[in-house]
Each structure stands twice: as C-alpha cells, then as structure tokens.
Structure 1
Amino acid sequence: MERPADMNTLSQILEKLRLKGLDNEIKMTDHGKMQGVGFNKIYNPDDLTIIKTYRFEGDSDPGDNSVLYLLEDKDHTIGYILDAYGMYSSQENAGFDEFLRKIPTADRDLQELLS
C-alpha cells in the first residue's frame, strides 16, 4: 500500500485543500463575524467546528510562525482560517481571538480527506 506524501509545510496543506476543492478561506469581517470568502456565508462561532489545527514554525524568523485552522460548518462545508500567531498575528480585529475561542473543537483524523 502506497503511503501518501507527508504534509510538512503550510503550502503543501493549502495545495492539498485546493486540489480537493476545499480551499474556502474564512476571514473576520469588520462586524465581528466570520465570512466565507468565496462562498459568501456569514458565521457565528456556533456555526463552525474546528476539526484540525496545524502549527508551523519558521526555521529562523519568528514572523514565519503560522497556524491553520480547518473548519467545518453546519452544511459540512470545509474551510480554513490562516493566521500568524503570537505578536505577529495578522488579525487586526480585536474580537478575533474571542471568536476563535468560542468555536467548538473536534480534533479529527483528516488523512482520508486530504490524501
């Protein structure tokens, strides 16, 4: 049985999502809610579930640290939120961290989904 290639970098995971048609980015709006960029849905925290979190650390630059949250909405649409973490966070909206903390989590094995 052939083993799928390891996904060690952010770009590898984003490319896998793109190839599977799951590259639905979700961003914080100016109104404190999350919006699906390409599919125009507005979300409250209870509309989403974090199904996997990936953290990436730059070899030499702390500014390269990033986190990728894979999410599923109530319609079973898979999307993601991408952010730097720590003091390098790219989220300017003060409610981002609070919104993220309110999203329930269900750490799932996504090997089938991404392989």
Structure 2
Amino acid sequence: MENTQPSFDTVIETLNWLRTQGFTHDFNLDYDTIKYNNGTGIMSPEDFHIEWVFRFEGETDPGDEEIIYGITSAAHNIKGVLLSAYGMYADPLSDRMIQKLSVH
C-alpha cells in the first residue's frame, strides 16, 4: 500500500505531522552528506531514503521557499526531517546529493 501525500498550509503543520509519524531527528545538509546528532552522525546519499517531500513557495518573500524531506535510513536505524531552502538561498551541494534530493 502506497502512502497518500497529505497536504499542509504551513511548514510548522508539516513538521508536527512528520514528528507524529516518527520523524524525530533533525538532519542538516553538508555538501555531500547529511549530518545528525549535532554532527556526530553522518549519512551519505546511499545511506538514506526519502519517504516524503513537501514544497513551500514564498508567495511574497523568496526567502520563505522551503522543501521539507521526511527521511529514513535503515542503515542508521533513524527517521528525521531535513529542511532545505531552494532557489537563490540553496546550500551548495555535490552532484550526487543534488541527484538524490531531486529524484522526488
């Protein structure tokens, strides 16, 4: 059975819902990896799967453009969220990380 994509009006609503689904860790992008646990845990693109993607477009402020990823990793036994700006505020990423995040 495939997950049905829920729809939310705000980033906060989305994050709260993901937390109820067990996505409790906060992930951070770092060029070619995703870090967690204050940088002590590191995942490469091969180590994780993107379960959910939510995109928010800034209607009045381009700085409000955000993508929220619900990410799981069987290799690290972890579920969490990654917030990523896009457009002019996007972080520099490696080609393989861009490819992994762009698949969705």
Percent identity, aligned pairs only?
28
Matched ranges for 1:3-82 at <5 A: 7-29=8-30, 32-37=32-37, 40-75=40-75, 76-82=77-83
- C-alpha RMSD of matched pairs (Å): 2.9
Question: Is the strand fraction higher in 1 or 2?
Answer: 2
| Counterpart-to-counterpart distance in 2, 1:34 and 1:26 | 6
The TM-score with structure 1 as length reference comes to 0.66
The TM-score with structure 2 as length reference comes to 0.71
Structure 1, unaligned runs of 5 or more: 108-115
Offset at residue 19 of structure 1 (A)? 4.3
Paired amino acid for 2:9: N
Structure 2, unaligned runs of 5 or more: 1-5
Q: Deviations over 1:36-95 (max 9, x none)?
A: 236942111111011111100122112211111111101552212101111122x2xx33
Q: Is the 8 A contact 2:52 2:71 kept in 1?
A: yes
Q: Is the 8 A contact 1:49 1:103 kept in 2?
A: no
